[in-house]
Structure formats: C-alpha cells, structure tokens
Structure 1
Amino acid sequence: MAQSLRGWNAIVTGAGKGIGKAIAEHLAKEGVNLGLVARTESDLRQVADSIRTAYGVSVYTSAADIADRASIESAIAQLKDQLGSVDVLINNAGTAKFGSVLDMPVEEWERIIQVNLLGTYYATRAILPHMVERNRGHIVNISSTAGEKGNATTSAYSASKFGLLGFTESLMYEVRKHNIRVMAILPSTVNTELARNVGLKLGDEDHQMQPEDVAELVIDSLRLPNRVLLKSATLIMTNPQ
C-alpha cells in the first residue's frame, strides 16, 4: 500500500522554475513542508507564495549557487533548522550547454560539471549526516537520458549526468543500510525554459514531456513502501514529434 507523505519535510534544489517548481508543487499537494533553493531570490519568493496560498504548507527559501560549496552548505543548514528535520532531498538544480569538445570554452565545460555533479554531491553531503542519524531519508537525483547515451556536442552535459548516475548508485548501496533510499530519475527532453534556451526541439503539449510528468514520477517513487526503492527510472515521450 502506498504511504502518505503528509507531514514530511523536503528540500528541493533548482526550485525557482521548471522541473524543480513542478516537484515542489506536487510535494506540497501531498502535504509536504518545503525548503526551496535556487539562485534567484525573486523566483523563490514567487513559487513559495503561490504554494503557501494553494496548499497551506510551510515553505522556506534560501538563495544559493549549488556549485559553490559554502553557499549550498549554508542554505541546507538554514533550511534544516527552519524545517526541524528533513525527510527528502530532491537534487534537481542543473544547467546545460552544448558544443563540441574543441568549441566549448573550458570554463563552460567546467561549470556544467560543477553544477550538475559537484553541486549534487555538495547538497547531498550537507544533509546526509542528518539522515543517517535519523536512520531514514529519501534522496532523489534528477539526471537525464543524456546520462545513458552520449552524443556529438553533449560531452560536458553527458559527462555530468553519467557521473551523477554513478554517484547515485554508489551512494544507494552505501546508505540503504540506514534506511535511506537513493533514486535517480532520467527524463528525456522536458518542456522547460532551460530546454528552450539551449535550442532543443520541442513539440506541442500533447507530445512533449512536461515538468509535471517528471514530478508525478517523483511522487510515485516516494510513496512506495519503505522496504523497496526505485533504483532508477527512464522517462521518455510516447510519440515524439
């Protein structure tokens, strides 16, 4: 029987827009109190105000750059103190740019690794002792189908997402003895501002994956009985244009 999430506390990174915003809204709908992280304070305030009004849960925010270790560690500590405890960490914050190995500036290549891989590591490491002490917790890492298959011009993005999958699986085996579930969600192209900004081809709503589709899968994975976990799940479009 699926478990209720009501009364849980969750931290969501990259919560200002797109997939992170959709996940935050779906968690709130389930009665989960939230700590939201993003780089832009105005985006966080807008999402937080909307969620409080719609669902009546507690929502706290902290602006931080996930690629900056001190910044994200401070944000996680602040939100943990405000929430009182943390049951769920959603590592969603990410970035993308595409280009060949020789054409992409080294600084851009490094930034993608810093955000998508190191940022997830920093956020996870900041909350993990708390989860180990409580002997329970749930960590969901939003990866990508680019973490399963490389393509021309995706070397940086694919490297970050391949790395994220390796980190997720290794951590899962490491901490499941503490009743901590670590899971990876791998969507293909989602209709987000990020996808549009990097020039990915998007179809109409009936064909194109939406942020809400990813959020639904995250909720379903959390509602599984604690005795099992969804190791990873790939989400693709049924009939892409």
Structure 2
Amino acid sequence: MSTVQGSPVTPPRAAPIIRSFPEPGKGIQQAYRELDLADTGTDAQRKALGDLNLLPRPWDPASLTQPQLRLEVWSWLEAVATWLNLEYVWDVSAMIPPCWPQHPYLVHEIAVIADQRRRAGRALTSDALEEWHRYALPSFIDRMKGRTRNYCEEGHQDWPAKGRFARHVSDEQVNERRRAFNADQQTQRASRASQQPQGPQLRVVDDGLAVDTGTGEIVD
C-alpha cells in the first residue's frame, strides 16, 4: 500500500475495463443453429427441421412455446439489460428500468437489440457492430426514453394508458370499428359490381366460333 502525504492509498480493485456481451444458453444456441440451417442449409437439412414457420426465434419471445426455452430467453435478456446499463449508460435517463419485464414494449425491444448485438459480435468485420452502435442502440434508447419517461424512477408505475386501452377494447368501440370495416367491404363490393362489363363477353376461338367467356356457351 502506497501513501500520499502520509495518507494510505488503497490500490484500485482489479476489474475488467469492459465486460463481454452475455452469451445465450444452450437452448437458445440450438435455436440459432436451426435458424442458420433454415437460412443456409441444404434442402435435406431444411426438410429435417420441419415447418420453418414454427422454428423458435429468440428475437421474438412470443414465438417461444417451450417453457424451458422461454425461461432461458428471459434469463438471457435479463443479463443483456444489466450489461447494457453497465457498459453503455452514463446518464440515468438512459437506464433500462429494473421493471422492464412489466413493460411489454421493452421486452420486444430488448429481445431485438440483444439478437442484433449477438449477430454483430459474431461478424468477421466491425461493420455490423459499428451500425449497431450508430443506429440500433441509440434508436432503442431514444424510443425507451420517449415511452417510459420518468414514470418508473422510484419504482414501477401502473400503465398510464390503461384507461384508454380499456376504452379501445370496450364492446362499444369494437362494434364501432366492425361497422366501419363492414361499410368499407360493402363499398368495395358496390364498386366491383359497377365495374362489371354489361352483356356477354365474347372470345373467338380457332374455328371462328364466338364463345361467351362467362358461361362457356358458343354464340351463333
């Protein structure tokens, strides 16, 4: 231990300057391998995967129907959110709130930003990571700040738009929108009917006979 003007100086605690991006668990890694095969694999490999539309996509947690895999994704996103707050945030307004799982829009956004950061880190050049730094991360932070504002600074707050959403899904408003949809459909039907040609449409075939294209009858 050294001293400065007679006062002991404790050396700084050993710690890394930066920390590595959190790696996903084995289940998520397997999901990514299957997605890579679906994208670049052979026809046989793609066929072995089954319906490609049903493959779990870690950047879209709603696509994860296996409970264990879903839990693994939550653990990964928790690690990513903590990593982002530690490695990229200086001003408190850019902090991902600790109640982020209670904000569906943040769940969607963090899943995508985690996926893009993983892909950028695995690239063979720095281009994708520079794009992530320049566009993806700042855009995410700006959207988060615009939506969250200061509602959860001292703890999670109830959804400010809860009352308005309740009105949105009320029977009265749902029926009002359905009436608008039905009116639009009727308008399109009337428009199509008015554009129908009047009288039979004839087409001359090889032997010189005229055929009504609507009924298929030969017209003298």
Instruction: Tell me the TM-score range normalised by the shorter chain.
Output: under 0.3
Larger Rg: 2
Q: Provide TM-score, normalisation by structure 2.
A: 0.25
Greater strand content: 1
